[in-house]
Amino acid sequence: MKFLGNICYAKRKSEDLLLDIYLPEASEFSVFVFFHGGGFTKGSKSRAEKFAGYLTGKGIAVVSADYRMYPNAKYPDFIEDAAEAVYWVSENINNYGKCEKMFVGGSSAGAYLSMMLCFDARWLSKYGELKVPVTGYFHNAGQPTCHFNVLQTERGVSKKRVIVDDSAPIYHVGTAEEYPPMHFVVSDNDMECRYEQTMLMLATFKHFGYDSNKIGFTLVHGKHCEHDKTTDENGDNILGKMVFEFIRKW
C-alpha cells in the first residue's frame, strides 16, 4: 500500500481542506471515497486507517476526506465540501493509476453526507459530468432525516425531533427516476431511532418502486459504528469487508 497524506482538495478562506489517498499495489483499481463520522463536531479522515489496509489489499484505492465542522461551519458547508472532494477525486485519481469506477460512502455523519450526495442532485450536478462516475454509494449508519446537530446547534430544537425537509436525505427520495446501486448498514444496538429511520428509508424505496436488486442492507450486531474498527473471526475489518463485497458486486 502507498499512502499519500494531507493533499489539499479545496480552500475555504484561511482553511485548507485535506484528504488522504491509500493506493493498492496495482495499476488499475476502483476507488472508495470515505467521509468520517462524529456528528459534524469531531472525527477526522484518519478513521479510514482502520479499513484502508484491507481494501488496498483487495486492489481498491481509498480516499478519506476531511470537511468543515461545527463550530466553524454550518449547514450546508459540510455537504458542499463532500461534493467538492468527490469532484476532486474524479478529476485527479487517474494521476495515480487507471480508475474507471468510484464509490462514495461514509459512517454516521459521513453517511449523511453520502446520502445527501446520492439523493439531492444539486450538490454534484454543479460540477457537470464527472470524469470518473459514481458507480455506487455505501451508507453506514447515517441519519436519513434532518441531522440531529443541525436541529440542536442551528435551529435550537431538540435533537430528538424527527424533521423531514430539504436538509433530510429521505426528503429527496423519489425525485430521480433511478439511483446508482447502494448499500445500507445499521446496528441492532445503534443510536436511538437510527434503526427505525433506516427501515423507513428502505420502505420509501419500496414505496416508489425502485429496483430492490440495487439496494442492499446489512444489520450488524453491536453499538453505533462499532464495526468500523472491529474485526471478524478471520481477523478482517468488518466495515472494509462489507465495502469490498459491495464494490465487487458492482
Report the Cα 201 to chain-centroid distance in Å.
16
Dump pLDDT digits (tens) for 185-241.
Answer: 999 999 999 999 999 999 999 999 999 999 999 999 999 999 998 999 899 999 999
**Position 13 confidence tier, pLDDT thresholds 50, 70, 90:** confident
Residues in contact with 202: Cβ distance below 8 Å, sequence separation at least 6, in sequence order: 184, 215, 217
Give the whole-angstrom CA distance, residue 58 versus residue 233: 18
Is pLDDT of 14 > 90?
A: no
**Position 129 confidence tier, pLDDT thresholds 50, 70, 90:** very high
When pLDDT is averaged across residues 109-138 and rounded to a whole number, the result is 97
> To the nearest whole number, what is the mean pLDDT of the chain?
97
Residues in contact with 169: Cβ distance below 8 Å, sequence separation at least 6, in sequence order: 112, 115, 116, 118, 119, 120, 142, 144, 145, 201
Tell me which residue of 113, 118, 94 sits closest to 29, measured CA to CA.
94
pLDDT at 147: 98
What global pTM score does this model have?
0.97
Give the whole-angstrom CA distance, residue 86 versus residue 236: 27
- Would you say 18 and 47 are in contact if contact means Cβ atoms under 8 Å apart? no
Give the whole-angstrom CA distance, residue 132 versus residue 89: 8
**Position 85 confidence tier, pLDDT thresholds 50, 70, 90:** very high
Dump pLDDT digits (tens) for 32-80.
Answer: 999 999 999 999 999 999 999 999 999 999 999 999 999 999 999 999 9
DSSP string, 63-77: EEE----TTS--TTH
Dump pLDDT digits (tens) for 145-186.
Answer: 999 999 999 999 999 999 999 999 999 999 999 999 999 999
CATH number of 2-249: 3.30.1330.20, 3.40.50.2300, 3.40.50.1820, 3.20.20.70?
Answer: 3.40.50.1820
Is pLDDT of 134 > 90?
A: yes
In a 3-state reduction of DSSP, which class is residue 52?
helix
pLDDT at 117: 98
The domain spans of the chain are 2-249
If phi > 0 it is left, if psi is from -120 to 50 it is alpha, else beta; for residue 141 that is: left
pLDDT at 30: 98
Is pLDDT of 242 > 90?
A: yes
DSSP 165: S
